[in-house]
A = this chain, B = another copy of it.
Amino acid sequence: MHDIAAAAGVSRGTVSRVLNGGYVSAAARDAIEEAIRQVGYVPNTAARNLVMQRSHAVGFIVLEPHSLFLEDPNIGGILLGANATLSAADFQMVNLVVDSERDTARITRYLSGGFVDGAIIVSARSHDPIIQVVGGLALPSVFIGHPRDLRAEIPYVGIDNLASAEEITTRLLATGRRRVGMIAAAVDRDSGADRLAGFRRALGPLFDDNLVAEVPLYDFACGAKGMRTLLERDPDLDGVFAASDAVAAGALEALREAGRSVPEDVGVVGFDDSSWATRTRPHLSTVHQPAADLGAHAADLVLRQLKGEQIPQRGVLLPSPVVWRDSA
């Protein structure tokens, strides 16, 4: 910066002003901009960060085992959406995968160390220690999804899992299905619990506890296992709401093994509208999850907190429309 000040015949202060705004004469501005172009000057991030007490980085914290980080199609979309918004604002995104208790300690140190100015937290469960950590840190943060015990002052972005689950189940019932079950995955997660609650609400008096197969994960293998359980409990089943597309794909596999055809014998609906949905045969009817938008929105909320804005409404729910294809 000193060099280009010298080249333009002005002082460092003036250069700083053309870079950051302030009173500068047209002549000085032109000379400086010319010098910048000539020298190929780029401001030094470290020095700027140092004096500004800002790192210009936002943590993207994924509370999942590493493998699920890849498997879960939503996380990738969220990441991309957030990354696009952040890099447009000249912020870096730092990926942090929290897999164990030990990692929680590491992340706590990281977040409190001024390495990042804010954080986007993906797939936190209720009672996750990270909630306390972030709450105590006064670090501008946004959760994607909303754990029940999330502090009131921390904003979140999500979809209405309950309403969407209710909607697609209702839609499934409208196709004339009478014995409809659910493969409920990850009910320890808020998304999982809400999807189950939505299913229950859609069924109303038809709800039968026996027709809910609970499985631990949102994945293919659990879907197949859950489907087999349901078929055992009621061979006359004619409809299934799978808690995710991966689960639905597993269910399709189990149904095929059992000799049932979809959608003729059994109607199947999923959730997420991930790449699974169009890889299966038949293509899945499902709920579209606007992953990239979720990420972009979350990033935007972090950025706005960083600018000192007050976030008016605490939670934002993005629309998640039903996409009707061939599996039901």
- Give chain A's interface residues, CB within 8 Å of chain B: 40, 42-47, 49-50, 55, 57, 66, 69-71, 73, 76-77, 79-80, 83-84, 87, 92-97, 109, 112-115, 220, 249, 253, 256, 275, 279, 281
- List 28 interface pairs A-B (beta carbons < 8 Å), by A numbering: A42-B112, A42-B114, A44-B114, A45-B49, A45-B114, A46-B46, A46-B47, A46-B49, A46-B50, A47-B50, A50-B50, A57-B92, A66-B84, A70-B73, A70-B77, A70-B80, A71-B275, A76-B76, A79-B95, A83-B95, A83-B97, A92-B94, A92-B115, A93-B95, A94-B94, A220-B279, A253-B281, A256-B281
Closest to A249 in B: B279
Task: For A92, list chain B residues within 8 Å (CB).
Answer: 57, 92, 94, 115
Q: Please tell me which one of the listed residues B42, B45, B80, B113 contacts residue A55 in the complex, with CB atoms under 8 A apart.
A: B45
Given contacts A66-B80, A83-B95, could you give 8 more A-B pairs where the C-beta distance is less than 8 Å?
A42-B112, A42-B113, A42-B114, A45-B113, A46-B46, A76-B76, A83-B97, A92-B115
C-alpha gap A87/B110 in the complex (Å): 11
Q: Which residues of B contact A77 (CB under 8 A)?
A: 70
A220 CB to closest chain B CB (Å) equals 7
* Docked complex Cα distance between A166 and B80 (Å): 36
Nearest CB in chain B: distance from A203 CB, A: 30
Q: How far is the CB of A52 from chain B (nearest CB, A)?
A: 8
Residues A87 and B96 in contact, CB atoms below 8 Å apart: yes
CA distance A95 to B91 in the complex (A): 11
Q: List chain B residues, Cβ under 8 A from A87.
A: 96
> Looking across the interface, which residue of chain B has its beta carbon closest to that of A81?
B66
Q: Which residues of B contact A112 (CB under 8 A)?
A: 40, 42
Quick one: which of B42, B45, B281 contacts A109, CB cutoff 8 A?
B42
- Residues of B close to A50: CB separation below 8 A: 44, 46-47, 50
Q: How far is the CA of A229 from the CA of B83 in the complex (A)?
A: 39
The 6 closest A-B pairs by CB, nearest first: A46-B49, A42-B113, A46-B50, A70-B76, A92-B94, A47-B50
| Distance, CA A327 to CA B55, complexed state (A) | 51
List residues of chain B with CB within 8 A of the CB of A49.
Answer: 45-46, 49
Rounded to whole angstroms, the CA-CA distance of A112 and B44 in the bound complex is 11
Cα distance A112–B42 in the bound complex, in angstroms? 8
* Chain B residues within an 8 Å CB radius of A115: 45, 92
CB closest residue in chain B, given A66: B80
Q: Which residues of B contact A44 (CB under 8 A)?
A: 50, 114
Chain B residues, CB < 8 A from A57: 92
A307 smallest CB distance to B (angstroms) = 20
- A115 CB, nearest partner CB in chain B, Å: 6
* Min distance, Cβ A14 to any Cβ of chain B, angstroms: 22
Shortest A89–chain B CB gap in Å is 14
In angstroms, Cα B206 to Cα A237, docked, is 52
What residue of chain B has the Cβ atom nearest to residue A77's Cβ?
A: B70
Q: How far is the CB of A247 from chain B (nearest CB, A)?
A: 13
- In the bound complex, residues from chain B placing their C-beta under 8 Å from that of A55 are 45-46
